[in-house]
Amino acid sequence: MSMPGNRDPFAAYICDETALDVLRPVVIELGWQPEKCNKGGLRNAVQSLSVSASPNILMVDLSESGDPLNDINALAEVCEPGTVVVAIGQVNDVRLYRDLLSSGIHDYLLKPLSASVLRDSLNAAQAVFSAPRQGEAEQSKRHISTAIIGTRGGVGASTLATSLAWHYSADKKMPTALLDLDVHFGTGALTLDLEPGRGLTDAIDNPSRIDGLFIERAMIRANDNLAILSAEAPINSPLMTDGAAFLQLQEEFRHAFEITLVDLPRNMLINFPHVLNDVNVATVVCEMTLASARDTIRVLSWLKANAGHVTPLVVANKVQAGTAEISKADFEASIERKLDVVIPFDQKGASAAAKLGKTFIDANGSSKVSSGIKQVASRIIGLGGEEGEEASDGEKKSLLGGFDLKGLMAKKDKADA
């Protein structure tokens, strides 16, 4: 495993002998020197590191710290960039835990320590150094972002979004993010048989805290390659945001994933038009009705006027031969363009997927609907790739760049100011 520079791989500064007795055997098991487990807490760590090189992984005890967040700032002053910090303490407080993670700490463990928890945390800290660093593989990775926009309620935009996310992650093995921006009534997590968690509402409430570490902690894993961020906010709580969180989330997704799917309620175009700033392809989902034809025209016109960098992809969903309100020819004539993909209606398949708690494509892999969804997926990749490499103001950050303690502390200080 590659470790930067010639630093020690590990050092710890622990307040009490009981914790040291649990830590030392784990340190030996991981191949490190038990002599690097020092007596004394965070203050002792600051004094020692002010005159010596920082280790790759640093464990500090906050038990004797009266103001942990302020003391962490002092630690950041003497830690070299790239040091991964694991804190331990005896204050069981969710707000402190979140504040510590937001300030750049990799993990926070509660006393009394157990060997298994220590082992898991230190293995996770080690994994930071085995991933691509800035300027390596991440530099050449292409990211595609698509917004799935339904022209009418019930056209199946969310069903399409979850199936696309599953297809990219499970079949194409692409690291995939699904952002469900229907904060009150979103079904992304429900379709995947998951609890949505508080990640999205926390991001909206505290956009300055969004960074790579926040993304890793807040997103819910649906499979090895798919992470989802959604919410079920109380319906008596209006959405109070200027939309800054949505932009910051997409920026972090761009560094951490290969493809982002944004399930975007159409009213968001009115309230937060800048949410499409980083989007390559707008997948406009419609049905063969008069109302949907009207709103498809309006959405396409809006995209042309307000998001000229976005390539539209028009998908007709739930199409039933012989029962459509408008024929395909008349629909295409009214929107003045061809439909890119036509997906048939399959109520039986949709019911089966819902009963199984799976996405449509996962539950009905060989159906005609799934074939249509795969067509959409291929078109998104093709259209997103046509944009060419993104211009960059410097090096692309990887997700793991978020573990640079000094960088995160500076970012936090700037946000708090």
Q: Where are the domains of the chain?
A: 10-131+398-416, 140-385
Sequence length of the chain is 417
In the numeric block, which tokens belong to residue 41?
A: 């807490």
Element of type H or E holding 409:
helix 405-416
Is residue 181 classed exposed, middle or buried when 0-12, 13-18 and 19+ CB atoms within 10 A define those classes? buried
Q: Do 10-131+398-416 and 140-385 share a fold?
A: yes
pLDDT for 322 equals 81
In the numeric block, which tokens belong to residue 1?
A: 């495993």
Summarize pLDDT for 22-61 with one digit per residue, the tens: 999 999 998 899 999 999 988 899 888 888 888 989 999 9
Tell me what percent of the residues of the chain surpass a pLDDT of 90: 48
Is residue 86 classed exposed, middle or buried when 0-12, 13-18 and 19+ CB atoms within 10 A define those classes? buried
Name residues whose C-beta falls within 8 Å of residue 321's C-beta, 6 or more positions apart in sequence. 344
Report the top-level CATH class of 140-385: alpha beta
pLDDT exceeds 50 at position 416:
no
Summarize pLDDT for 95-104 with one digit per residue, the tens: 787 778 777 7
Summarize pLDDT for 320-360 with one digit per residue, the tens: 888 889 999 999 999 999 999 999 999 999 999 999 988 99
pLDDT exceeds 50 at position 411:
no
Name residues whose C-beta falls within 8 Å of residue 267's C-beta, 6 or more positions apart in sequence. none
Please report where in the chains the tokens 């006393």 appear, as a residue: 111
Beta strands at 57-61 and 10-14: parallel, antiparallel or unpaired = parallel
Q: Is 184 helix (H, G, I), strand (E, B) or coil?
A: coil
CA 92/CA 109 separation, integer angstroms: 9
pLDDT exceeds 80 at position 129:
no
CA 189/CA 156 separation, integer angstroms: 15
pLDDT for 413 equals 47
CB 46 within 8 A of CB 74: yes
pLDDT for 3 equals 42
Summarize pLDDT for 361-382 with one digit per residue, the tens: 988 888 899 999 999 999 999 8
Homologous superfamily of domain range 10-131+398-416:
Response regulator (3.40.50.2300)
- Residue 132 is classified by DSSP as P
Cβ–Cβ contacts within 10 Å for residue 126, how many? Answer: 17
Tell me what percent of the residues of the chain surpass a pLDDT of 70: 88
Higher pLDDT, 7 or 56: 56
pLDDT exceeds 80 at position 18:
yes
pLDDT exceeds 80 at position 6:
no
pLDDT exceeds 50 at position 209:
yes
pLDDT exceeds 60 at position 197:
yes
Summarize pLDDT for 259-305 with one digit per residue, the tens: 999 999 999 999 899 899 889 999 999 999 999 999 999 999 999 99
- Band the pLDDT of 403: cuts 50, 70, 90: very low
Rounded to two decimals, the pTM is: 0.60
